[in-house]
C-alpha cells in the first residue's frame, strides 16, 4: 500500500537534515537512491512516498 509522508526539520539548530528516497533492488541488485533532499532550516518540509519497494532514509548531513 502506498503512503504519502511529510518530513519537517523541526530543530532550531543550524544542522541540515537529509531525506533520501530509495528503491529496493531486485534479483540481488543493490538498492538504488532515487533522490536526496536537504532540509536546511527550521520548518522546511518535504514530501515522500513509501511502499513495499520504496523507503525513506532520514539523517543529519555529514559535514566531513
User: Residue 37 to residues 28, 52, 63, 64: CA-CA distances in angstroms?
Assistant: 27, 21, 15, 18
Rounded to two decimals, the pTM is 0.89
Query: pLDDT class for 64, splitting at 50, 70, 90?
Result: low
CA distance 22 to 2: 14
Q: What is the pLDDT of residue 4?
A: 97
| For residues 40-53, average pLDDT | 96
User: In what helix (H) or strand (E) does residue 52 lie, and over which residues does it extend?
Assistant: none
Residue-averaged pLDDT of the chain: 95
Domain ranges of the chain: 3-60
| For residues 39-47, average pLDDT | 95
Amino acid at each position: 500500500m502506498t503512503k504519502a509522508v511529510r518530513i519537517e526539520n523541526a530543530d532550531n539548530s543550524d544542522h541540515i537534515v537529509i531525506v533520501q528516497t530509495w528503491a529496493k533492488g531486485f534479483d540481488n541488485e543493490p538498492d538504488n537512491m532515487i533522490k536526496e533532499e536537504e532540509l536546511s532550516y527550521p520548518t522546511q518540509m518535504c514530501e515522500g512516498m513509501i511502499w513495499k519497494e520504496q523507503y525513506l532514509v532520514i539523517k543529519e548531513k555529514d559535514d566531513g
